[in-house]
């Protein structure tokens, strides 16, 4: 069956450093992949969408890569800030499957 894996352990980093979150999937050949941010008690907020023919996509301090051979996406936040602390979800758009998310904590 299809499966998406995100690191269930929280990522704890120092302000100013780069945060890197991983999303691995199996048994899929998605045409695109999305990343969302979710704060406690709120709905997810769309961040970036990357298509299978795109290797990398950037938006301000955010960067996403998509390796269809490895079946993996990496999500980077550069110059991280405490306000970036949240749970980050990846989602394979085909059949709308979300990972369980990785919690990021940025220490001041």
Q: Are 74 and 20 in contact (CB under 8 A)?
A: yes
Q: What is the spatial distance between Cα 29 and Cα 34, in angstroms, rounded to a whole number?
A: 14
* C-beta closer to another protein: residue 44 or 73: 44
CB of 43 to another protein, least distance (A): 3
Neighbours of 35 (CB within 10 A): 23
* C-beta closer to another protein: residue 83 or 95: 95
Does residue number 86 form part of the binding site for another protein (CB under 8 A)? no
Task: Give residue 5's Cα distance to chain centre.
Answer: 11
- Contacting another protein (CB under 8 A), which of 21, 44, 63, 66? 44
Does residue number 100 form part of the binding site for another protein (CB under 8 A)? yes
Q: What is the spatial distance between Cα 13 and Cα 50, in angstroms, rounded to a whole number?
A: 25
Positions in the binding site for another protein (CB under 8 A): 4, 31-32, 34, 36, 41-46, 49, 89, 91, 93-101
């Amino acid at each position: 069956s299809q499966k998406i894996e995100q690191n269930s352990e929280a990522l704890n980093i120092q302000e100013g450093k780069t945060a890197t979150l991983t999303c691995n999937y199996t048994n899929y050949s998605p045409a695109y992949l999305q990343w969302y941010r979710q704060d406690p008690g709120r709905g997810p907020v769309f961040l970036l969408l990357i298509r299978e023919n795109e290797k990398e996509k950037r938006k301000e301090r955010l960067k996403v890569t998509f390796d269809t051979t490895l079946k993996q996406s990496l999500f980077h936040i550069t110059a991280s800030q405490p306000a970036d602390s949240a749970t980050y979800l990846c989602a394979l758009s085909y059949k709308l499957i979300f990972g369980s998310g990785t919690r990021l904590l940025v220490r001041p």
